Each structure stands twice: as structure tokens, then as C-alpha cells.
Amino acid sequence: MGLSEDPEVQQVLSGLFLAMYLVTILGNLLIVLAIGSDPRLHTPMYFFLSILSLVDICFISTTVPEMIVGILTHSSSISYTGCLTQMSLFIIFACMDDFLLTVMAYDRYVAICHPLDYLVTMNSQFCGFLVLMSFLISFFDSQMHNLILLTFTNFKDTEISGFFCDPSQLLNLNCSDTFYNNIVKYVVGIIYGFIPISGILFSYYKIISSILRIQSSGGKYKAFSTCGSHLAGVCLFYGTACGVYLGSAISSSPSRSVVPSVMYTVVTPMMNPFIYSLRNRDIKNSLRRLLHRII
């Protein structure tokens, strides 16, 4: 159904979303290149940040290009296979964002609370294992949604609210067993929402407790500065994503989830490069060196 039926508004939206998409791709790509080209940033914290940037590029690429093409071609239809494919990829990258934010919180917890064991605990094999597990769990979630939707029989000429095949909207298309769909939403919300958030909150509880025991104000500021960007990213992602997904189980009104959907599918990936670079001196210095070599 898109975001608007007005042709003039659609043209404005296509230009706006194209600009946001290009900014997102460029910003996240610069983060990846800066981290990859600077040996001083080859640490677990920046490794996870580079993976997060790659996931954000894939995340926004599952929705925005399809919407822009639909506006330019005046066609908002999508095939059954295309819809399930878009939803599957969307869930994989959204869940990977989810778990990577949790992994990054754990990385900060080990660095601040157990600094002497940091390099041993967060070795390259363990970091790779955490990223692999994040992908496998996300893939399992996408296939679980696929199995549920494959049981639906009313997907012909069906209108889908929003500008992409949002899983929270697709589950509402089944009119025969809404109770079962709501149960699935809450179970998925607990596994992929409550548990990661609990892990993040526990990590930061331990982090704050350790920081408060630091005697020097400079040490406290340095410890807090390494966590501020991550906390901002967590609040932006979880605040909008949980509102869309769990809110759809409470209310079937599609209009209430349009703005939050745009926030966590488009705005969040676009803002992450700014959040993680503007307050990070190492990233800014690496970006300056990278741009100097390119120019």
C-alpha cells in the first residue's frame, strides 16, 4: 500500500528515501573501510562495529530499493515468492542487528569489568563464533516465520500495509487463527526481544557498578564514553522495533506502525554511522586518514 497514494507525495518520498539510502550505504561503507584499513582498529569492539555496519547495509537494502522502484514504475505489487524472500532477508538482518547489539554490550562488559582477561576472553575465534551464532539464530527465526506464512491460503490479491512485507503485518493476514498468531508474536518477542534486552541491561548494570568504583574522574569519563554510542544505538533500535512488533499484536490498526517502521528500517541504519563515529576519536582519526589517502 506504500506510504501515500498522492503521486506528488510519492515523488517527494522517493527522493527522500533515495537520499537516505545513499547516505546509509556511504556512511556504513566508510566505517567498514576505516576499520579494515587501520590495524589499530583491529580489536573485538571495532570488529563487531564493522559487522554491524555491513548488516545495516543489507538491512536497508531489503526494503528501500524495492519501494523506490515501485514508485518510479507506478507498481506497488510484489509476488508471493518475492514477498516471502523480502520478509526472510528482513528478519535475518533485523535479528542480527538485535543480537550484535547484545554482543557489543557483552564486549564492553568484559573490557571494563574484566580488563586483564579481555584479550583472552574476546579472542578472534570466540568473536567469530558469536557472529556466526547471531546469524544462525536469525536464520532460524526467518524460517519459522516462513513456515507459519506458508500455511496461509489467502495471499492472492492481498493488500499489505506499509511499504514492505513487514512480518508483523503479514501475520495479521490470517483471519482464521489470530490467537495462535498473537502467541507466536509474543514468544518471538520474548526470545528475540526480552532476552537480548535483558542481556544488555545486565551487562550495563555490571559496567556502571564497575565505573562507579573508579577513583579518577578521567577514568570514569573514558569508560562512559565507550558505552554512550552503543546505548544510543540500542535505544533507537529497540524503542522503535519493539513498538512495531509487539504493538501489532495489541492493535490491528496498520497506520499506527507506519512511522515506527520507517524509523527502525531506514532511520536507524542511517544514524548508526553518525552515532558510532561522531563520539569516537579513533574512528574519526581513521576516517581522516582514509579520506586523505583517497583524495
What is the full DSSP assignment across 109-134? HHHHH-GGGHHHHT-HHHHHHHHHHH
Q: Are 266 and 64 in contact (CB under 8 A)?
A: yes
Residue 283, pLDDT above cutoff 90: no
Quick one: pLDDT band at residue 262, thresholds 50, 70, 90? Answer: confident
| pTM of the complete model | 0.86
Quick one: pLDDT band at residue 37, thresholds 50, 70, 90? Answer: confident
Q: What does DSSP assign to residue 156? A: T
> What's the average model confidence in pLDDT over 148-155?
69
Quick one: pLDDT band at residue 77, thresholds 50, 70, 90? Answer: confident
Quick one: pLDDT band at residue 100, thresholds 50, 70, 90? Answer: very high
The confidence score (pLDDT) of residue 103 equals 93
The confidence score (pLDDT) of residue 180 equals 64
Nearest to 96 by CA among 122, 131, 145, 61: 131
| Residue 213: other Cβ atoms inside 10 A | 8
Please state, rounded to an integer, the average pLDDT across all residues of the chain. 81
152 CB-near residues (< 8 Å, 6+ apart): 173, 174
Residue 106, pLDDT above cutoff 70: yes
- Only one residue has cell 507506478, namely 74
Give 102's Cβ-side CA count (13 Å radius): 21
Question: Cα(124)–Cα(43) distance, rounded to whole angstroms?
Answer: 9
Delineate the domains of the chain, giving CATH numbers in brackets: 7-294 (1.20.1070.10)
